[in-house]
Amino acid sequence: MNKQTTLHILQNVKNGTLSVEQALLQLRLQPFEDLGYAKPDHHRELRQGIAEVIYGEGKTAQQITGISKALLDKGQDLILITRLSARNAEAVRKNIPLVYHDCARIGIIGALPQPNGIGKIVVATGGTCDMPVAEEAALTAEALGNEVTRVYDVGVAGLHRLLSRLDILMDAQVIVAIAGMEGALPSVIGGLVDCPVIAVPVSVGYGASFHGLSALLSMLNSCASGVSVVNIDNGFGAGYLASMINHQRTYREGNNENTVP
């Protein structure tokens, strides 16, 4: 159940076309749906402001299709499917219209919303090989209603490349900084800007990088203030958190209309 449906029920109670008991019944019905292999959470948007997202890895095409249909039937306008293989995407597309982004391994059902955040989210990478994780973050943020600017291949091996985009970085509301190897990019960016920086370690690098562990530890030990860290290769988590930050003032204003600034 999304916010619009809930508001419609409450409005009907207000104007007398729906009894309190009927409204309660509608609100209580099926907060989740038991499909046997999955339990789609239809009240996620009502509780958290963001609807259910499907994690595609490890699921069959039939399971992904079933979950997607259950969400669509309950009025979810846009469905984000992360870690979706090209093979499963093709199978799902036979039953449900789906746009597949191969680099990010993301499938999107429904139209992307118009940006309604406070400002811009910048997604920056140390190298081109970080793009799959970066695109997962960027597309997640766009699906959640954010304007996203991509700044790719600006790692510390050529610091002048990053500094040439400093105007874009300084104009951001929040920055997602993605890097492998030694993971230095978020610390450098964190020392230049006045907005939150979300660091994403990537499993890119030679042997001693330990599949992203070296970058993770570097980012956790960042000397720059205002840098937070998500898990290795977790572009989705970074894009989700960036969206929450970019909508924070809008949410507070919408829920504190009587608060004096």
In this structure, the answer to whether residues 134 and 184 fall within a common structural domain is yes
In this structure, the answer to whether residues 124 and 104 fall within a common structural domain is no
In this structure, the answer to whether residues 58 and 155 fall within a common structural domain is no
Collapsing DSSP states into helix, strand and coil, what is residue 101? strand
In this structure, the answer to whether residues 244 and 124 fall within a common structural domain is yes
Q: Supply the range of the domain harboring residue 98.
A: 31-109
> How many angstroms separate the CA atoms of 261 and 80, rounded?
36
Rg (CA), the chain: 20
Structural domain includes residue 98 = yes
Structural domain includes residue 2 = no
pLDDT at 14: 83
Structural domain includes residue 8 = no
Counting every residue, how long is the chain?
261
Sequence-distant (6+) residues with CB within 8 A of 236 are: 53, 82, 136, 137, 140
> How many angstroms separate the CA atoms of 242 and 227, rounded?
12
Structural domain includes residue 35 = yes
Strand partners, 106: 101
Indicate the residue among 51, 79, 109 that finishes a domain.
Answer: 109
| CATH (domain of 175) | 3.40.50.1970
Indicate the residue among 41, 76, 109 that finishes a domain.
Answer: 109
pLDDT at 23: 73
Structural domain includes residue 16 = no
In this structure, the answer to whether residues 156 and 192 fall within a common structural domain is yes
Domains in the chain, number: 2
Structural domain includes residue 93 = yes
Q: What is the mean pLDDT of each run of 10 residues along the chain (261 residues)?
A: 69 83 68 71 74 91 93 88 96 94 95 93 96 97 96 92 94 96 94 96 92 95 94 97 88 46 39
Question: In 33-119, where do the E strands start and end?
Answer: 54-55, 79-82, 99-101, 106-109
In this structure, the answer to whether residues 94 and 173 fall within a common structural domain is no
- Measured N-to-C along each axis, helices 235-246 and 248-255 cross at an angle, to the nearest 10 degrees, of 40
CB of 122 closer than 8 Å to CB of 116: no
In this structure, the answer to whether residues 37 and 100 fall within a common structural domain is yes
Structural domain includes residue 174 = yes
Indicate the residue among 109, 138, 156 that finishes a domain.
Answer: 109
In this structure, the answer to whether residues 102 and 124 fall within a common structural domain is no
> How many angstroms separate the CA atoms of 16 and 218, rounded?
60
Q: Token digits for 185?
A: 């990019």
In this structure, the answer to whether residues 134 and 230 fall within a common structural domain is yes
In this structure, the answer to whether residues 183 and 209 fall within a common structural domain is yes
In this structure, the answer to whether residues 128 and 99 fall within a common structural domain is no
Structural domain includes residue 132 = yes
In this structure, the answer to whether residues 126 and 229 fall within a common structural domain is yes
Q: How many CA atoms lie within 13 A of 98 on its CB side?
A: 30
